[in-house]
Structure 1
């Protein structure tokens, strides 16, 4: 992957901060009775107000025949792993919702995901959320200068194994910069090969998807929504990270 220089990192930090601002707005509005479409509109309004552009709305991926994504956020509820549609569904007390936001500000991208409880959730749900947050933290902690890329997935899956949960295999992090998806694939599970050395200027996402049950998934007929194969809950947490000699810096923070 092409390494980012200081000026580019500064601009990506600004894009990441805008992503974090969107999450701050969402946190105040995620409650029982709110629709996914209302949350989507809140984020869209803030992104455009700041002179940025959305990355998901209209996105088709590499297949131009694929149906375009209909919203600004991915909104994945309960057993939905990722890429849930921000439609007219109403959030209920005890739900969880994973929201993924991608945007471009002045030519550079920011990308992050947070899973939120809706009102009061059951103890086992609260525990899954905590495990998801800790999985991301452990992946970030080993993203140190001169470590190997695949140290990240090993740290995440080793921890998940101790908690009786599973890590989704096929969906990983990615390089990011002027484009949402740039070269470099970040696995969240153990790999046979160590992967490249981590060096300053690398920027990529770490975004483990943690399932309460099996790691297997099903793609729904809408062409986007990915659900757990056993119907159990799934959570996801993500940050955009830049490698520095002094440790990983999170770009998607306020």
Structure 2
């Protein structure tokens, strides 16, 4: 690759950082949608909790597309040069262009964090783990899904901060206009509200399940005492 394509300060890398920042925000909006997959189904005079299949397919599709951006970002970081620490004395410093040194440095720094953010863990839980656990109840399935989503949400959320720092370091600001900056801050606020709303929905569903179980136990005890 030419230096213009691997220079961390090149227009190509800066444009990609902006695109990847937007994709990170979209991915952070997608992940809480997994909390809405468990739903209450009312039919044939029975009420039960089941997974919404149509929503599962839709969320899985868009989540997989978002995962591709994380994978592509890892590929770009394997090809992006860095400034040698020993040369940061005067001026910008010397760029290290050797692919082996770049890969070695990346593997020792951010590789595992990026890998943790790129893994399709919720898809694996929804389509492989939960169907294989035949004896698991709805509580265990919901808890496992919520735990996986929240654990992976941490590295995905963390990636926004160094990425924003790189953009600010190169351009001075994250966005080029004041309106875009206001929209960016509004998106962050909406993201926090979205996460809290999804978590509240899942907790409400868990509470409903607990009430049903408690009522069933009372009815069983009453029936046993009458018998």
Length-normalised TM-score, structure 2: 0.28
**The structure with more helix, counted as a fraction of residues:** 2
Length-normalised TM-score, structure 1: 0.26
Structure label with greater radius of gyration = 2
